[in-house]
Each structure stands twice: as structure tokens, then as C-alpha cells.
Chain A
Amino acid sequence: MDLSNIFFYKEKDVLMKNLVKVERARYNLTQAELAKELNVSRQTIHAVEKNKFNPSVTLAIKMARFFNVTVEYLFDIED
């Protein structure tokens, strides 16, 4: 049992990978700017990029639409 996971929780059970950081860099945006565009906090963008938080379907769709890509392209389950 890993007690550190009680406090420093990471979503390791479902290994997700995302290209948010890549797409953000492509659009030359900072985390704060992207957060403002999507109406979320900067911490949320940071947590999504670091795979510490899997975004809701709504936020995933919002991100995909903003970057003009599909949700499947932006978020995928790691093999």
C-alpha cells in the first residue's frame, strides 16, 4: 500500500496521455492564456498536462474544439 498516494494523489490507474502541452506550444500560448480561453484555472491546465487530472468530457471537448483537433487525438489511453 502506497501511503503517499493518499495525499500526493496521481491518477495512475488509467494511464492517459495527452497532447495539450504540444498543442498549446503550437498555438504559442501560456498556461494562463489557455486557462483564460477555456474559462478554467491555470492549475487545471497544469494538472491536465502533468497527467494528474483527467478532464471532464466537457473540458476535453472544449480543448479539442479550441485546438481544432479531435478529442481522440488530444487524449488517448496509453498502451
Chain B
Amino acid sequence: MKTQILPNWCKKLGLLLFIIASLLNGSFNFINNSFNPNDDNGLLGLLNAFSGGAISYGIDFIAILAMLIYMTSKEKIEDDYINKLRLESFQLTFITGLLVTIAIYILAKDLVLTLDYFIFPLLWTYLTFFFIKRRMYL
């Protein structure tokens, strides 16, 4: 099954969107915590109150969507070798994810995490493995 359904230019779009969303999220959190470290009434709190929490949620959503766009975009040249590297990266990501989950389960059985704690590391792990594997045979 081909998961790379978007054209190559979408890769740049995804990366650009992700950087913008991450910078915005980081900036808002930084400003918020710098001025009001102990309460939620900073800039982000104000924007969230104004938008009913949609700003913070929306920025996170855009960042995840941007990474998904990046992951599902084609390389400049799609061939068997790149498909093999992609498949190996998916396998490694899955195994790493399972190992981390087992470790967390052993260390902190009652730990409750929200979904974003899983999605971001999962996407990042895949991208890192794929990047390393591609660079390995240069």
C-alpha cells in the first residue's frame, strides 16, 4: 500500500507549517510563563479565554497535521529502496513505541497521559529514524 499520496512540494509546505505552528506554540507558552508563571491568565490564557480554548488546541492540531502532510508526501524520486527504508523506519518506530510503552507501564502503572504525549513522539521517532536511515547510505 502506498501511503505517500501527496506530491513532493507538500513536504516543504508541511515543514513550513510545522515550524510556524511550533514557534507560535512555543512563543505563546514562553510569554505566558515568563509573565505569569503561576497562573493561566497570560497571553495564551487570554487568547484561550477569548477563543474558548481553540487557539492552543488549534495550533497543536496544525502542528500534527503539518507533520502528517510531511510524512505522506513523496520524495523527489520514489523507488524501491526509499520504500524499503520507509518500511524499516515504520517497523523501528512501532517496536520503539512498544518498548517505551512497556517501560512506562512497568515504572508508572497508574500514569495517565493525554493523546498528544503519544502522537508527537511517535511522529518525531518515525521522522528521525527515516532521516538517519536515508543519510546512512549517502
Chain A residues close to B by CB (< 8 Å): 6-9, 35, 39-41, 43-44, 46-48, 50, 52-53, 55-56, 58-59
Contacts and interface: CB of A to CB of B under 8 A. Distances in A.
Contact of A40 (B81, B84, B138): B81
Contacts of A47: 81, 137
A8 to B, nearest CB: 7
A50 B77 CA distance: 20
Main secondary structure on chain B at its contact with chain A?
helix
A31 B134 CA distance: 16
B136 to A, nearest CB: 7
A35 B82 CA distance: 13
Nearest to A45: B81
Interface in B55-94: 75-77, 79-82, 84, 88, 92
10 contacts: A7-B92, A8-B136, A39-B77, A41-B75, A41-B81, A44-B79, A44-B82, A46-B137, A53-B80, A55-B80
Interface of B: 75-77, 79-82, 84, 88, 92, 134, 136-138
B82 A56 contact: no
Contact of B80 (A7, A52, A56): A56
A43 B137 contact: yes
Most buried by A among B75, B76, B136: B136
Contacts of B79: 39-41, 44, 59
Nearest to B82: A41
Nearest to B95: A6
Contacts of B92: 6-7
Contacts of B76: 41
Nearest to A58: B80
Contacts of A46: 137-138
Contact of B81 (A7, A8, A43): A43
A43 B134 contact: yes
Nearest to B135: A43
